Amino acid sequence: MTPTPPDLLVISASNGENLKLAGRFAACGRSRGLTTEVLDLTEESLPLFTPRQLAAAGVPVTIAALADRLLAAPRWVICAPEYNGSIPPVLTNAIAWLSVQGEDFRSLFNGRPIVIASHSGGGGFAVLTAMRIQLAHLGAHVVGRQLISNSSRPARDESIEDLVDRLRQLEPIQL
């Protein structure tokens, strides 16, 4: 029997504070009646994307499974730290691999409601701006409000609740 896909997929691009933040989003979604799943990208065994790697070995089989998980969930939250003023390599690498698999990788993103959030020591504004630009370019519907937190300004439950509520109000993509 195939498991039921979640209503909300919460993606973490680190195994530290952003994974904890992802867990908080997932718990909030469950408290609001959504089935949720956390996807820790640091647990995915993806080789570094390069055109040479693609030409030599093709698309890794793990990418199809990742694409299926992403495609099955109508709404996402992405929690990512700021790395050197931009998107963390694990997220960039996953998107790069996803972009070369299948005939229409944009179907993963087109019209998909997404919340972006960050727990970052470096501020977080740069990563959220970069993610917003990239996800919008890929066709996603990125929620206007975003969440930035750090050790001196932790994420408030009320902010997480508001973002999950905003995401629930958006029409999910038709799967």
pTM of the prediction? 0.95
Contact predicate 38/69, CB 8 Å? no
**Assigned token pair, 130:** 């970069």
Going by pLDDT thresholds of 50, 70 and 90, the confidence category of residue 39 is very high
Instruction: Tell me what pLDDT residue 175 has.
Output: 52
For the chain, give every domain's residue range.
8-169
Q: What is the mean pLDDT of residues 89-97?
A: 97
Going by pLDDT thresholds of 50, 70 and 90, the confidence category of residue 104 is confident
pLDDT tens, residue by residue, 54-67 = 999 999 999 999 99
> Residue 2: pLDDT above 60?
no
Going by pLDDT thresholds of 50, 70 and 90, the confidence category of residue 103 is confident
3-state DSSP assignment of residue 3: coil
Instruction: Tell me what pLDDT residue 122 has.
Output: 78
Instruction: Tell me what pLDDT residue 99 has.
Output: 92
CATH architecture for residues 8-169: 3-Layer(aba) Sandwich (3.40)
Task: Give Cα separations from 3 to 25, 72, 92, 175 (angstroms).
Answer: 21, 11, 28, 15
> Residue 136: pLDDT above 70?
yes
d(CA 163, CA 158): 9
**Assigned token pair, 59:** 């698309």
If you average pLDDT over every residue of the chain, what do you get? 93
What is the DSSP-derived secondary structure letter of residue 58? -
> DSSP string covering 72-133, please?
H-SEEEEE---BTTB--HHHHHHHHHHTTSSS-GGGGTTT-EEEEEEE-TT-SHHHHHHHHH
